[in-house]
């Protein structure tokens, strides 16, 4: 080899090695196109979402616009339902559960009984005739620039495509490039699975119009083609010949404005977006700048191994038998952050059961908002991983349901305040849906309100507490002051009727409700104190809280799920609702309530280690809060189980080749909850102190995290090595005192707003 060639080869090798090191935690990549939807790679700007398949002869971009749902504005409240509340309660008190459920099904449920479904919008297909023969194919999603790329060689030409969804441009871009001049020949077409659809070609634009089957919404999507080649209109498609590059810009909109208003003009909106759409390079630069503002705030580095260099689907398969790829956990956490940025941005709706990615008209659970666990899970990593803006769409939804839920509180319970049951949709339904045995669950609004409290705890933003959080939390609490009822058997105040999410039917007094209500009351009491307001109301909450049925330990040493000691120790039910007080709640703790903690662990052991995706993710968080890193890691391994392993479809939870969480089918909550759980093993900040490496699994002896947020208004960087803390930096955003815990060592530091503090391995402040 000549010296120059040797040097170049060596440099290329070095560059590849360096790149590979950083790639392992920030790139999903594959050696083949996606064969099915769960292999395609997601992009999104909050409002628009797409799955890019990376096909060679035909590429498919399946896309969504977040407001295309079935249904129309309506109240779901059941007028006069409250007349039956007393009788339902009486039946439950007398042990007549079936009769209570029957009466509730007939007289107490949402009208209509079901909520509406999120809809696929359409597909863009790009055909590359003659490319069947190809080589050197590679496909990737780079989390650092939020771009999906695919490239391959065909007929001596290298073809490269890049797709991204831009938040500033409100559009999806798809760019194609050929390495040789004039060698790009392709066709673009659009289609949809809706029965009512229309495709029109107008100049260099294709328009797809769709109308939902059941409901009042319709949408327009338009692709604008910009190319240096020759463009021809053919039946239903645009054909491009002899181009070197081309850009497709996709915009979509519906007539939905908000949950009460649907007189939007999608054609006008789409035309406006396309008119202002910048050219590809300009749009890409702006997209990266916008995205990286959020993404780059946080990093997690965990060691790579040989296995880490493999394509993502192979990494997943290898992890199952030989989990020596810690960097895969870092990739999983960053992928969750990517998904949150792509599905939940200010001004958009919150991430639903599938984020915003849905290719069906009848998706599982309508791809709506199930709030008895799933929607909350989506936002578990938001504050901690420094993505507070992405939390905002959830707050807007809470505002909406506090309005619709005020009517439901009145009509169903004759109560003040507002209530949300176990689901909501784009119309912000708040009444109990589906069936009384799981639909009548009253603490959805209370749990969601606590997300606003968490925002305050992470940021110490008093204006937010005063103007946004507290009024919503207060309304949620007011409902329970009216709703809680005395249990004739014990004399405690209980939540009735309700259920322990999806387990055991309609009951009086599920443990989870009481934990959530106590947490809500506590948050309101503290808020009133901080804001120097509502002293009498706070006093009332404190008194009421004392009277709510406490957690109890049952005959098997378990934490009771209900008022009566009827837990089935053989049940492996996916919900473990009565442990809410451990995570995301915090009333059961290792030092504060050791007996209850022991009982909770016993309950979790009875439930077993298997589960659907989100259930596995929740269990990671539980074991982390139990300070058992090894068990948390066992659960992480389960969550990382490939769903398609050697072509074998599995029945439990796990991960698809594109790292989407499997319920199955795909449900995004496990991605978010799993990421939160991994971080919960590294840092916990819920007990008035920052606990460092509280549940570090042995498999993660070395690592670094930067930009992680902790309650109290702190942002921190931490390095650990050989299982021990090495360095810590704390930035104080609010000037609150900072209490640190590392094992048995506790250190308290007074901080100044805006100042950064460095600590050594012994927690001594470094100058
Ligand atoms: C809850 C869970 C189900 C599913 C659904 C969307 O009701 O019990 O498993 O995740 O939400």
pLDDT at 17 over 60: no
* Percentage of the chain exceeding pLDDT 70: 96
pLDDT at 2 over 50: no
User: How many Å apart are CA 505 and CA 693, to the nearest integer?
Assistant: 39
Average confidence (pLDDT) over 289-296: 98
Average confidence (pLDDT) over 248-263: 98
Q: How confident is the model at residue 20 (pLDDT cuts 50, 70, 90)?
A: low
Q: In what order do the strands lie in the sheet with 230-234?
A: 41-44, 48-52, 58-65, 122-127, 184-191, 237-243, 230-234
Render pLDDT for 355-368 as a digit per residue (tens, 0 to 9): 999 999 999 999 99
Q: Report how far ligand 1's centroid is from the alpha carbon of 558 (Å).
A: 24
User: How many Å apart are CA 764 and CA 148, to the nearest integer?
Assistant: 45
Burial class from Cβ neighbours inside 10 Å (0-12, 13-18, 19+) for residue 410 reads buried
Atom number in ligand 1 closest to CA 438? 7
CA dihedral 574, 579, 580, 585 (to 10 degrees): -150
The per-residue pLDDT for 644 is: 74
Average confidence (pLDDT) over 701-714: 98
User: How many Å apart are CA 701 and CA 635, to the nearest integer?
Assistant: 18
User: How many Å apart are CA 189 and CA 123, to the nearest integer?
Assistant: 8
Ramachandran category for residue 136: left, alpha or beta (phi over 0 → left; psi -120 to 50 → alpha): left
pLDDT at 320 over 90: no
The per-residue pLDDT for 11 is: 42
pLDDT at 521 over 90: yes
Render pLDDT for 435-486 as a digit per residue (tens, 0 to 9): 999 999 999 999 999 999 999 999 999 999 999 999 999 999 999 999 999 9
Atom number in ligand 1 closest to CA 667? 10
Average confidence (pLDDT) over 103-113: 98
The per-residue pLDDT for 322 is: 82
The per-residue pLDDT for 649 is: 56
Helices 470-483 and 535-547: crossing angle in degrees, nearest 10, is 50
Ramachandran category for residue 138: left, alpha or beta (phi over 0 → left; psi -120 to 50 → alpha): beta
Average confidence (pLDDT) over 217-233: 98
Q: Report how far ligand 1's centroid is from the alpha carbon of 423 (Å).
A: 10
Alpha-carbon distance values, 737 to 460, 703, 712, 716, 752 (Å): 12, 27, 8, 14, 8
> Yes or no: is domain 34-69+117-296 CATH 2.70.98.50?
yes
The per-residue pLDDT for 18 is: 43
Atom number in ligand 1 closest to CA 422? 7
Provide the H-helix boundaries in 655-700.
669-680
Provide the H-helix boundaries in 252-387.
266-276, 280-295, 312-321, 327-343, 374-378, 380-384
Q: Is the CB of 663 under 6 A from ligand 1?
A: yes
With residue 637 as reference, give the H or E element that holds it. helix 629-639
Domain ranges of the chain: 34-69+117-296, 298-342+611-766
pLDDT at 726 over 70: yes
Q: Report how far ligand 1's centroid is from the alpha carbon of 370 (Å).
A: 7
Rounded to 5 degrees, φ, ψ at 386 are 65, 40
With residue 135 as reference, give the H or E element that holds it. strand 135-142
Q: How confident is the model at residue 653 (pLDDT cuts 50, 70, 90)?
A: confident
User: How many Å apart are CA 476 and CA 95, to the nearest integer?
Assistant: 29
The per-residue pLDDT for 6 is: 47
CB 79 within 8 A of CB 91: no
524: Cα separation from own chain's centroid: 26
pLDDT at 14 over 50: no
Q: Is the CB of 365 under 6 A from ligand 1?
A: yes
Q: How confident is the model at residue 647 (pLDDT cuts 50, 70, 90)?
A: low
Q: To test ligand 1's pocket by mutation, which of 437, 441, 614 has the most ligand atoms within 8 angstroms of CB? A: 614
Q: Is the CB of 438 under 6 A from ligand 1?
A: no
Task: Specify the 3-state DSSP secondary structure of 88.
Answer: helix
Residues written for the chain: 767
Which residues, other chains included, contact 717 with Cβ-Cβ below 8 Å and sequence gap of 6+? 704, 705, 706, 707, 708, 727, 728, 729
pTM above threshold 0.75: yes
Q: Report how far ligand 1's centroid is from the alpha carbon of 635 (Å).
A: 19
Q: How confident is the model at residue 648 (pLDDT cuts 50, 70, 90)?
A: low
Atom number in ligand 1 closest to CA 669? 10
Q: Is the CB of 88 under 6 A from ligand 1?
A: no
pLDDT at 508 over 80: yes
Greater pLDDT, 533 or 644: 533
Atom number in ligand 1 closest to CA 365? 6
pLDDT at 5 over 70: no
pLDDT at 645 over 80: no
Task: Specify the 3-state DSSP secondary structure of 140.
Answer: strand
* Percentage of the chain exceeding pLDDT 90: 95
Q: Is the CB of 370 under 6 A from ligand 1?
A: yes
With residue 258 as reference, give the H or E element that holds it. none
CA dihedral 617, 619, 622, 627 (to 10 degrees): -100
Q: Report how far ligand 1's centroid is from the alpha carbon of 629 (Å).
A: 27
Beta strand spans in 355-513 (E): 369-370, 423-424, 485-486, 493-494, 498-500, 503-507
pLDDT at 577 over 60: yes
In 3-state terms the chain splits into helix, strand, coil percentages (rounded to 5) of 35, 25, 40
**DSSP 8-state code for residue 361:** S
Q: Is the CB of 353 under 6 A from ligand 1?
A: yes
CB 527 within 8 A of CB 121: no
| Exposure class string for 23-43: b at 16+ Cβ within 10 A, else e | bbbbbbbbeebbeebbbbbbb
CA dihedral 557, 562, 565, 566 (to 10 degrees): -110
Structure tokens at 619: 């269990």
For ligand 1, atom 1, name the residue with the nearest CA: 370
Q: Is the CB of 352 under 6 A from ligand 1?
A: no
């Amino acid at each position: 080899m000549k010296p120059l060639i040797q040097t170049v080869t060596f440099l290329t090798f070095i560059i590849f090695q360096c790149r590979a090191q950083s790639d392992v935690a920030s790139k999903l990549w594959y050696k083949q196109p996606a064969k099915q939807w769960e292999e395609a790679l997601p992009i999104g700007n909050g409002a628009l979402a797409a799955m890019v398949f990376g096909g060679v002869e035909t590429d498919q971009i399946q896309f969504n616009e977040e407001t295309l749902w079935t249904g129309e504005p309506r109240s779901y409240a059941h007028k006069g339902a409250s007349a039956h509340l007393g009788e339902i309660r009486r039946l439950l008190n007398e042990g007549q559960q079936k009769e209570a459920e029957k009466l509730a099904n007939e007289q107490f449920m949402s009208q209509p009984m079901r909520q509406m479904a999120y809809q696929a919008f359409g597909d863009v297909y790009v055909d590359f005739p003659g490319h069947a023969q190809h080589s050197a194919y590679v496909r990737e999603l780079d989390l650092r620039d939020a771009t999906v790329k695919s490239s391959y060689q065909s007929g001596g030409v290298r073809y490269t495509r890049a797709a991204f969804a831009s938040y500033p441009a409100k559009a999806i871009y798809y760019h194609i490039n050929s390495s040789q001049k004039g060698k790009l020949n392709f066709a673009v077409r659009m289609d949809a699975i809706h029965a009512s659809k229309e495709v029109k070609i107008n100049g260099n634009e294709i328009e797809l119009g769709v109308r939902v089957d059941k409901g009042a919404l319709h949408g327009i999507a338009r692709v604008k083609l910009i190319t240096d080649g020759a463009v021809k209109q053919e039946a239903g498609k645009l054909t491009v010949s002899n181009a070197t590059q081309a850009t497709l810009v996709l915009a979509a909109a519906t007539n939905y404005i908000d949950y009460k208003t649907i007189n939007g003009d999608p054609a006008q909106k789409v035309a406006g977006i396309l008119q202002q759409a910048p050219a590809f390079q300009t749009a890409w630069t702006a997209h990266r700048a916008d995205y990286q503002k959020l993404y780059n705030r946080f990093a997690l580095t965990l060691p790579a191994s040989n296995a880490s260099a493999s394509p993502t689907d192979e990494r997943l398969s290898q992890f199952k038998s030989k989990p020596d790829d810690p960097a895969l956990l870092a990739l999983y956490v960053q992928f969750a952050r990517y998904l949150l940025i792509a599905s939940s941005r200010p001004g958009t709706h919150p991430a639903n059961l599938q984020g915003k990615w849905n290719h069906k008209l009848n998706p599982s659970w309508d791809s709506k908002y199930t709030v008895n666990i799933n929607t909350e899970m989506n936002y578990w990593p938001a504050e901690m991983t420094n993505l507070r803006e992405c939390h905002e769409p959830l707050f807007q939804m809470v505002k909406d349901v506090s309005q619709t839920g005020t009517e439901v509180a009145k009509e169903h319970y004759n109560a003040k305040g507002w209530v949300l049951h176990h689901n909501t949709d784009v119309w912000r339904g708040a009444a109990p849906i589906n069936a009384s045995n799981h639909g009548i669950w009253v603490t959805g609004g209370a749990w969601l309100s606590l997300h606003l409290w968490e925002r305050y705890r992470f940021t110490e933003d008093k204006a937010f507490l005063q103007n946004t959080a507290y009024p919503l939390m207060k309304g949620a609490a007011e409902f329970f002051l009216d709703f809680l009822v005395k249990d004739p058997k014990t004399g405690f105040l209980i939540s009735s009727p309700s259920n322990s999410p999806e387990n055991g039917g309609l009951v009086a007094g599920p443990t989870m409700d009481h934990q959530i209500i106590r947490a809500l009351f506590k948050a309101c009491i503290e808020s009133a104190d901080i804001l120097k307001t509502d002293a009498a109301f706070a006093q009332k909450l404190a008194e009421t809280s004392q009277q709510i049925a406490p957690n109890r330990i049952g005959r098997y040493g378990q934490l009771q799920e209900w008022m009566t000691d009827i837990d089935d120790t053989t049940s492996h039910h996916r919900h473990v609702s009565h442990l809410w007080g451990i995570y995301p709640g915090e009333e059961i703790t290792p030092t504060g309530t050791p007996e209850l903690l022991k009982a909770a662990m016993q309950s979790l052991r009875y439930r077993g280690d298997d589960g659907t995706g989100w259930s596995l993710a929740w269990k990671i968080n539980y074991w982390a809060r139990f300070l058992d890193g090894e068990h948390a890691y066992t659960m992480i391994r389960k969550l990382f189980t490939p769903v398609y392993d050697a072509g074998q479809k599995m029945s439990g939870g796990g991960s698809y080749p594109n790292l989407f969480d499997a319920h199955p089918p795909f449900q995004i909550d496990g991605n978010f909850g799993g990421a939160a759980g991994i971080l919960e093993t590294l840092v916990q900040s819920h007990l008035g102190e920052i606990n460092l490496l509280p549940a570090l699994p042995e498999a993660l002896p070395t690592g670094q995290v930067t930009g992680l947020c902790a309650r109290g208004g702190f942002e921190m960087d931490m390095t650990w090595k050989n299982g021990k803390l090495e360095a810590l930096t704390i930035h104080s955003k609010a000037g609150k005192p900072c209490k640190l815990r590392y094992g048995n060592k506790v250190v308290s530091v007074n901080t100044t707003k805006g100042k950064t503090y460095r600590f050594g391995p012994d927690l001594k402040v470094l100058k």
